[in-house]
Amino acid sequence: MAARLRTIADAVVTALNAQTFSQSFTATRVWEEFESLPDLATGYDVKVRPVTSYQTELHSRSATVAEYQIECWIRAKMTADVSNDFKSHIDEAVDLVEEIREFVEPNLASSSELNPAGANWSGTEAIVVYGEQVLKRANFFESQLTFTFSDYR
């Protein structure tokens, strides 16, 4: 049987790839940390990475809860004219980050909810890593979403 952490990450990748977003991408699951942007002519690179530690605690006298964290990195190569159209490039990238966040988090307006491998979403931490000088010098955008999923047993 696959490790619960890996099963949850795989379910997130499958759900992201089945959904239509404003920008196209294919999410992949990785274990390793990455430092450089892959060779993208244009477009987005989305990596889903299970955080290698998780926490289990007693929930009640007869049940435990395990919390698993899954990182979702959204990275984009900016076009060469980023200095001419800085705002629209950032707007587009930040919009995609928000779309992904809203997709994974439960939608209170409908009954749809992502429950990877039976675990429930319980929190999100978002870090948008960008700066005008970095974008102009390195020509890439990077953001990290960390989703926490709780598994009650």
Domain coordinates in residue numbering, the chain: 4-33+40-152
Look at residue 131 in the predicted model and tell me its pLDDT: 63
Please, which residues have CB within 8 angstroms of residue 142's CB and are 6 or more apart in sequence? 37, 73, 74, 75, 129, 130
Task: Please name the CATH architecture into which domain 4-33+40-152 falls.
Answer: 2-Layer Sandwich (3.30)
Q: Are 22 and 2 in contact (CB under 8 A)?
A: no
Q: Which pTM does this prediction carry? A: 0.83
pLDDT in tens, 64-101: 888 889 999 998 877 656 556 667 778 888 999 999 99
- Buried/exposed 81-106: b ≥16 CB within 10 Å, e otherwise: ebeeeeeebbebbeebbebbbeebbe
Which residues make beta-bridge pairs with 75? 45, 142
Round to whole Å and give the CA distance between 113 and 111.
6
Residue 148 and residue 68 in contact, taking contact as beta carbons nearer than 8 Å: yes
Which residues of the chain, if any, have pLDDT below 70?
1-2, 34-42, 52-54, 59, 79-86, 107-114, 116-117, 130-137
Write the CA distances from 80 to 19, 22, 137, integer angstroms. Answer: 29, 21, 10
